[in-house]
Structure formats: C-alpha cells, structure tokens
Amino acid sequence: MSAASGIGISPELSDTFSSAVDSKNIRFIKVAIQNETLVPVETIEVSGSFDDDLSQLQTLLDDKQAVYVLARLDEPPSEWLAINYVPDAAPVREKMLYASTRSSLTKSLGSAVFTDSLFATSKDDLTADAYAAHKRSLAAPKPLSAREKEMEDIKAAEKQAGFSYEGSSARKNHIGTGHSFAWDPEAENAMKELGATETSRLVVLAIAMESETLELHSSSEVDINQVGAALPKDQPAYAALAWVNEYSETGRDVLYIYSCPTTSPVKLRMTYSAGSGSVARAIETILKDNGSAFVVSKRKIETSDPAEVDEAFLKSLYEFNAPRSAGGGAVPEVKPDRGFARPKGPARRR
C-alpha cells in the first residue's frame, strides 16, 4: 500500500466538483497534480450515455502523462467513478506520486459519491468494452481457497438442511426457502427409551437422504468398550450414549457422539456436519421433555475414527478420572501447596 503523498485539493477543484455534482451536466473532470496541488485541468459535458462518452477520453488523455479522471455515471447520476490513469510510458516518479495521492483525492471530495474506481495503464482500458469487462469482474464470485470453498459448501448445506427436532408428527415443508426434518417415530421412541434405561445403552441415528428424515440405525444395551464397534465405519452417524459410569459427578450421563469417518462420501459429510448441532439440541429436548433419569452432558464427542471410542477414550473427557467417593462426587487428586518458589537466577560465569 502506497503511503499518502500529503498533496491536497485546490479550492478550484473543490468548487468545480461541487458545481458538477449539482448541475448533473458534467461527464468528466480531468485532474492533475500541479505545484504540489490537485487542480482541475479540463471538463467535458454529458453528450450521450456513459458508454458513448467514454470514447472522448481517447483525445482527452496523453499516452505519457498520468492524470485522474472523475466520471459521472448514468445510473444513478449522483454517483461517480474515480479513474486513475497511469500510462506505462509515464515517468517512474510521476507514477509513484499519483499512486500515493489517489486516496487523498476521493476522500477530500467525499468518498460517498465515488461508488467505483478504475485503474488504467492505457487508453485501451477506458473503452466501453473494457468498462463492461470491469463490471463483470466486480460481479463475479471472488476466488476461494480450498478451505474457504469447503466452508461455503458446508454453510450452503446447513442453510438447505436446517435440521431441527419437530417430533414424529412433523411434516416436511417444501414451500418457501429451506426444509424442516422430521424424526422417524421409531427413532424418537428409541431416544425416549434411552432416557428411561437403567443400564448403559447406545442409540445410533442416520439420515435417510431421500426422505430427509432422521431414522433409527440401531438401539441396544452396550458394553462401554464396544461403543466404537457399534458405530458405522463407512458413513457418518449421530449417537446418544446413556452411560452408567464412575467418573462423573452424577454417575449417569448421556453423551452425544457425532461420528464422521474420513472415508465417508463428501456429500454425506457436509450434510451431517451441517445438522450436528441441531440434532444434539433435539436429543436434549426429547430427554428433558420425557423426564430422563440421565443428565445430558455438556461434553460432546466428535470423531473421525469410530474405533477409538472406548472406556479409556470416554474417561479422558472428564476432568478428574478417579472413582467417585461415597457421596457420589469425584475425588480429585490433591497436590500439596508448595508455596511460591523463587526462580533460580542464571549461573555465574567463571
């Protein structure tokens, strides 16, 4: 970014531009730097459309002299285009001077009226066809990195999906923008049963892509070291694990698991990722509304390797890993207070 040159506008330029804004009959104002000041050199009146009048710049500009051109647009006529014309044949010092002054020009005259800017290095850049190409470039989507493209795809999938819990009686609405996804009755009932169980139980949910419905993949009592094996290995899944354990304060938790193996198809990965948050909230709502004996844990599990989910993995989620005391709370390791230890200074040189 070029540093500001410190060159300001002259009173003549200020008056000329103010009059042009009010009169609406001036198409171009040619501006040059003279005696360390921005001054108006020539004005051209509106004679046709903006595209037609652009041809007049071919005679207004010099092949070796840098200048600014302030151009009134057609729609709306109150908006202006700031043209920074710096031909390749211009002296290097002049190029640098005009580059470092262009922001000062528009700010001094009022940035609000300049809705577009154009940098030109030859007269060929200031034709009707060249300006049309400039407008197409502005309207075109900005290039995205691979990560930005992935995030855009996820946002689009999330906007299209709009997962939310609406119960088994909900119907998908295909009118307007977006969808709402119902729960299959079997999936909803399995989640209610999970909240009433007295043992460790796992409910695995999947999305039926054609009907856009959350369906039950499996529901069963589970040995905690077999949770990973019960999750699909080749496609994403949502799961709720009711865990009777000795590591949490309550000893009875429901853990939400979002499993997305790296080998899953890209479309499924995007769709499941978009709906993960709302499905977790829906599970919490179902359990709360049905008086679940289990507490929904704030700890959420996301994994790309289902096989890693076992007791050791789940145990590591809790701050204290010691068994619960007789009163039910976790017994944290208590470290003796050693007080403040003064840091050792540097060793002395011999």
Q: Based on the fold, state whether residues 90 and 169 are members of the same structural domain.
A: no
**Is 47 in the same domain as 189?**
no
* Selection from 57, 120, 124 nearest residue 90 by Cα: 120
* Secondary structure letter of residue 342 according to DSSP: P
Percent of the chain with pLDDT over 70: 80
Task: Round to whole Å and give the CA distance between 307 and 289.
Answer: 32
Say if residue 180 is in the same domain as residue 221: yes
Q: Considering only residues 152 and 17, tell me which one the structure prediction assigns the higher pLDDT.
A: 17
Residue 147 lies in a domain: no
Q: Are residues 86 and 224 in the same domain?
A: no
Q: Are residues 16 and 135 in the same domain?
A: yes
Residue 347 is predicted with a pLDDT of 55
- Rounded to 5°, angle at Cα 55 from 54 and 60: 90
pLDDT at residue 230 is higher than 90? yes
pLDDT tens-place string over residues 300-326: 899 999 999 998 888 887 654 444 433
Is pLDDT of 58 > 50? Answer: yes
Q: Which of 23-27, 115-119, 197-201 has the lowest mean pLDDT?
A: 197-201
The per-residue pLDDT for range 163-219, each reduced to its tens digit, is: 444 454 443 332 233 334 678 999 999 998 888 888 899 999 999 888 778 999 999
Residue 331 in domain? no
160 band by pLDDT with thresholds 50, 70 and 90: low
Instruction: Examine residue 342 and state whether it is found in any structural domain, yes or no.
Output: no
Residue the block writes with tokens 């499924």: 268
- Torsional sign, CA 221, 226, 232, 236: positive
343 secondary structure, DSSP code: P
| pLDDT tens digits along 123-146 | 999 999 999 999 888 887 777 777
Tell me, yes or no, whether 58 lies in a domain.
yes
b/e per residue 52-84 (b: at least 16 CB within 10 A): ebbebbeebbeeeebbbbbbbbeeeeeebbbbb
- Same domain (yes/no): 162, 310: yes
Phi then psi for residue 68, to 5 deg, are: -110, 150
Q: What is the pLDDT of residue 61?
A: 94
How far apart, in Å, do the first and last CA atoms of the chain sit?
53
Q: Report how many domains make up the chain.
A: 2
What residues make up the domain containing 89? 8-139
Residue 171: predicted pLDDT:
37
Whether residues 86 and 204 share a domain: the answer is no
Whether residue 166 is found in the same domain as residue 305: yes
Shared-domain flag, residues 67 and 35: yes
The answer to whether residue 178 sits within a structural domain is yes
Give the mean pLDDT of the chain.
81
**Residues 228 and 83 both lie in one domain:** no
Whether 167 is covered by a domain: the verdict is yes
Which 3 state secondary structure label does DSSP give 92?
Answer: helix
For residue 203, what are the β-bridge partners? 219, 240
Q: Is residue 128 part of a domain?
A: yes
Q: How many CA atoms does the CB half-sphere of 177 hold within 13 Å?
A: 4
Length of the chain: 350
User: Both 90 and 186 in a single domain?
Assistant: no
Strands (E), 174-280: 201-208, 213-221, 237-244, 252-259
Helix axes 185-196, 266-289, angle to 10 degrees: 50
- Position 134 in a domain: yes
Query: What are the φ and ψ backbone dihedral angles of 84, each rounded to 5 degrees?
Result: -105, 100
The answer, as to whether pTM is greater than 0.85, is: no
On the question of pLDDT at 228 being above 50, the answer is yes
pLDDT at 128: 93
CATH number at residue 181: 3.40.20.10
Q: 226 exposed, middle or buried (CB, 10 Å; 0-12, 13-18, 19+)?
A: middle
Q: Calculate the alpha carbon distances from 214 to 39, 169, 227, 239, 275 in Å.
A: 69, 13, 20, 12, 10
Among 89, 110, 139, residue at a domain's last position: 139
5, 100 Cβ separation under 8 angstroms = yes
- Output 75 or 65, whichever has higher pLDDT: 65
Peptide bond into 76 cis (omega under 30): yes
Same domain, yes or no: 253 and 225: yes
